[in-house]
Amino acid sequence: MVRLILLGLLAGALFSSTFILNEFMSSAGGHWFWSASLRYIFMWLMITMIITMQHGFGRVKELATIFRDHWGFWCITGSIGFGVFYTGICYAGDHVAGWVVAATFMFTVVTSLLVLLAFGQRFDKKFIIYALLVFLGVVLVNVSEGLRASAVVDVAASTPMAEMILYGALPALVAAFSYPIGNQLVWQVSYNSRKHTAALRKARENSASQSKLNQNSSIQNSAIKNSTQPLTTEAPTLSIDTNNNATNIATTNAAKTPPKSMLQNLIARIPAIETKLLQNAFNKVWLMTLGSLPFWLILGIIVRPEAPATSQIFNTLLVALLAGVGATSIFLYARERAETSSEVAGVDSTQASEVIFALIGGILLLGNALPSTMGLVGIGLIMLGLVLFAKDG
């Protein structure tokens, strides 16, 4: 579990570059659509090159076959986990300060638990307390930065609270739900595959055991037929009653089984893709990114933005490399290695470290001041929550 937490923290450090670079692009007047869509176009090209260099172009063909066979699933997963998620982040960053986006998106620590519960996962209630502890620390960190910003900025020039919530907090909140949903859908595919493989293995073992029992039964029947005197019984034949009782028991059990909800029916439709390729994080990111491309095409037709500037293209390329390829791959790798729902929740909680790394990056790169006492308390709560996740996971 400690290793998974460390991988999640590394992903958080790379993820934190998103908020800094998006703030640069927004201040330069770049449209939020290009900040969002170009990142995933660059990501797909980079990952395609990486996979080709590692395994040859034949691996790309195999992934294309997986995408073709389950294109609906990958388009839905990519649109939610990448499309809606990063659209919310970039749109919010284009309207409010970066600390508002970071603070609201860190609600994903709590939404990840809600998503796990919705997908039927169970874990100890103490992990909910740990998640709330991490989230409280994130709130304190960002509130302290917000108070400092409001103290140095003219009140008349500040963003009205209603506009901040509508155009900043709400899109970031949508992103906080979309990201864990997309990740959980990919995790569920691997889980279904492992479950299906285990079921087939058990069925083969049961079939072999049944064949052996039938063989032994045949030998015993032959021995009985060769005996000198057949056995008789005075017990009446109850074949009809037995069938009726079996029917009544089956009906009773069916009546006791509660009907499935709409969400459970949707989860049941998630495919079990029988392939070892999904054990590789780059392969999953490649499939999700390809699935998100139709979303960006449709959104671009609706928004119709002006052409991006050269600086925005370069900054988006950097975001794609650090946060897209690096952070996403490491995060999905850590999540894939999680074997229990508690470990999955622990990996998800490391996203809260993005705020810490963003503060450190701001101090080192932008010359920002040290956090206030409230901010230091928040950082302490975040680290405490992460340590508790690692200890009890």
275-294 confidence digits (pLDDT tens): 888 878 889 889 999 999 99
231-248 confidence digits (pLDDT tens): 343 434 434 444 444 444
Between CA 110 and CA 207 the distance in angstroms is: 45
Are 290 and 65 contacting, i.e. CB atoms less than 8 angstroms apart? no
Q: What is the mean pLDDT of the chain?
A: 78
Residues with Cβ < 8 Å from 137, sequence gap 6 or more?
352, 377, 378, 379, 380, 381, 382, 383, 384, 385
pLDDT band at 217 (very low <50, low <70, confident <90, very high): low
**What amino acid occupies position 292?**
S
Are 126 and 198 contacting, i.e. CB atoms less than 8 angstroms apart? no
pLDDT band at 250 (very low <50, low <70, confident <90, very high): very low
Arithmetic mean of pLDDT, 27-47: 90
176-190 confidence digits (pLDDT tens): 999 999 988 888 887
Arithmetic mean of pLDDT, 204-224: 67
What does the block give as tokens for 140? 């304190």
305-322 confidence digits (pLDDT tens): 999 999 899 999 999 999
Q: pLDDT > 90: what percent of the chain?
A: 24
DSSP string, 331-344: HHHHHHH--SHHHH
344-391 confidence digits (pLDDT tens): 777 877 877 787 787 777 677 766 677 788 888 888 888 788 777 766
Better-scored residue on pLDDT, 200 or 315: 315
65-121 confidence digits (pLDDT tens): 999 999 999 999 999 999 999 999 999 888 776 667 777 787 787 788 888 888 877
Residues with Cβ < 8 Å from 73, sequence gap 6 or more?
185, 189, 270, 271, 291
Better-scored residue on pLDDT, 16 or 38: 38
